[in-house]
Structure 1
Amino acid sequence: MDVHGTEVRQKALTLLRGGTRNADVARQFNIPPGTVSYWKHLDRAERGECPGRHDPRCPRCDGRELDESAYSYLLGLYLGDGHISHYSEHRVPNLMITCTESWPGLMDDCEQAMRAVFPDNSVCRVRKTGCRNVKVYSKHLHCLFPQHGPGRKHDRRIALEPWQQTIVDAHPWEFIRGLVHSDGCRITNWTTRLVAGERKRYEYPRYLFANKSDDIRKLFTDTLDKVGVEWTTLARGSDPFNISVARKASVALMDTHVGPKY
């Protein structure tokens, strides 16, 4: 919503285009100077008059080269802990990945992937309580992440476009790694066995992935199947939200290509 009204904004832009100073326009219409500056910036951007600035090209719209390995990883992160936000109709949307402070290496990997996929766009980290949001701004986020839509991911259908599936098929481990880094973990389980009348404790590593979306879990398990990782479903109550990888050979594969968070 335009608080100051379209008519006031158009009059202000007419003066600004004519060379009137920002401060004078702000005083004349009783508008905050920052608002006037923002209007002027948007107007110049729409007319292609911003010096030294350009609209970064898009791999989907303009055929720019895409770092597919980094994209596959970032796609996994997005499907787990990612969200595309719009603060207003005039601002550039941003992709935000929430990373806990406990895993600084994950934040580094996330930021590196964003910069590789969007080499000409702004990337930043925003500190929150117990976590940081790693963000990238781009007008083409919907082109590269068509899964974006209203509501929570587990309340709507999530499916990869054919071009995305081609990338995931070419870089399956990066996709798996992104999903595990967002909604998964590597833990050490233990159990006891009775051996020669004596109960002994045994420990073994396990990977877990948990997501409420049936579609996202299936994307994860389908990709595990393609790389030869055996998995099982662990039911939580009546809802099978958890995917487990516990077979020794499969855990070894995951350790080689994914590894624990850090």
Structure 2
Amino acid sequence: MYDVGTRKRALALVAQGRSVNSVSKQTGISRAAIRSWQMRLEPLDPSRSVSCPRCHDIPGTPDEPAYAYLLGLYLGDGCVSRHRRGVYSLRIACSDTWPGLIDACAEAIQAVRPANRVCRIQRPGCQYVTCFSKHWPCLFPQHGPGKKHERRIALEPWQGAIVNDHPWEFVRGLIHSDGCRITNWTEKTVGGVRKRYEYPRYFFSNKSDDIRRLFTDTLDKVGVEWTTLARGSDPFNVSVARKSSVALLDAHVGPKY
């Protein structure tokens, strides 16, 4: 048996991005024990316990802006998987290129489920920001077998209400998962001189018609103009290039960091 302090120190090392194997070697604690602490349902500090807002019919979530952002991340790069004893993991894949995004993802998960541990599992080129809970299917009813673009994705009324109240957080999560801000350029001949012009542009790419529609419907609500660019015959890409709309996204979303 290990005391609470020992458990917290081991989990803190894992949360820093260390592998379970390396933490086990450093601390002398078995890998099985560390994994069991990651998957524990009860918090180490009972005073932090928070009931599931869906199971107990509590309006909203512990933090609605954080949930709207996390919902966008989940629809783009997240999945919910079932483990033993009715425990589920929420896992968001985040590229190592954007350390600020990884931190923002971990903070959002912690805000939504403050009683549960958030860990970062390093993989080549990315980190899986992961959290175990019985209640992820309650908070993300879109989960299910197969790829998201091969099944219907629709928000529950309570999720739609949160997105309506916090549309920019939802848009930010979607762009942070499956979007980007780039600088386009073109050349024009003016007065016989060939000149290069550069301008910023946002893209969002997702194979799911439903997820793209959720994105564009929300852009409409916040006054952002967009167009669809087809890749071959498939309209996977949503583009925002009009100056005023790019300025809106810059003010509320900005480039990944």
TM range (shorter): 0.7 to 0.9
Distance 2:127 2:86 in 1: 21
8 Å CA contact 1:121, 1:136 repeated in 2: yes
Which residue pairs with 1:107 in the alignment? Answer: 102
8 Å CA contact 1:56, 1:121 repeated in 2: no
Whose relative contact order is higher, 1 or 2, with alpha carbons under 8 Å and at least 6 apart?
2
Moved over 4 A (4+): 50-56
Per the alignment, in what secondary structure is the counterpart of residue 213 of structure 2?
A: helix
User: In the alignment, residue 53 of structure 2 is paired with which amino acid?
Assistant: P
Gaps of 5+ in 1: 1-33
Residues 191 and 59 of structure 1: is their aligned pair in 2 closer, same or farther, counting only changes over 3 Å? same
Of 86, 94, 97, which residue of structure 1 is paired with 2:82? 86
Distance 1:167 1:238 in 2: 34
Q: Is it true that 1:75 corresponds to 2:71 in the alignment?
A: yes
Cα RMSD after superposing both structures:
2.2
Taking structure 1 as the reference length, what is the TM-score of the superposition? Answer: 0.79
Of 179, 183, 186, which residue of structure 2 is paired with 1:188? 183
Which residue pairs with 1:57 in the alignment? Answer: 51
Mean alpha-carbon deviation: is it higher for 203-212 or for 191-200? 191-200
CA-CA distance at 1:87 after TM superposition? 3.3
Residues 52 and 181 of structure 1: is their aligned pair in 2 closer, same or farther, counting only changes over 3 Å? closer
Distance 1:234 1:119 in 2: 40
Gaps of 5+ in 2: 1-31
8 Å CA contact 1:193, 1:199 repeated in 2: yes
Count residues with an aligned counterpart. 218
Of 136, 160, 163, which residue of structure 2 is paired with 1:165? 160
| Cα-to-partner distance string for 1:22-62 (whole Å, 9 max, x where unaligned) | xxxxxxxxxxxx79xx8xxx9xx9xx9x9976974101112
Bigger radius of gyration: 1
Distance 1:156 1:80 in 2: 14
Mean alpha-carbon deviation: is it higher for 189-198 or for 96-105? 189-198
Taking structure 2 as the reference length, what is the TM-score of the superposition? Answer: 0.80
Per the alignment, in what secondary structure is the counterpart of residue 180 of structure 1?
A: helix
Distance 1:59 1:75 in 2: 15
Distance 1:192 1:165 in 2: 43
What are the equivalent positions in structure 2 for 1:113-124 lying under 5 Å apart?
A: 113-124=108-119
Residues 156 and 120 of structure 1: is their aligned pair in 2 closer, same or farther, counting only changes over 3 Å? same
Which residue pairs with 2:10 in the alignment? Answer: none
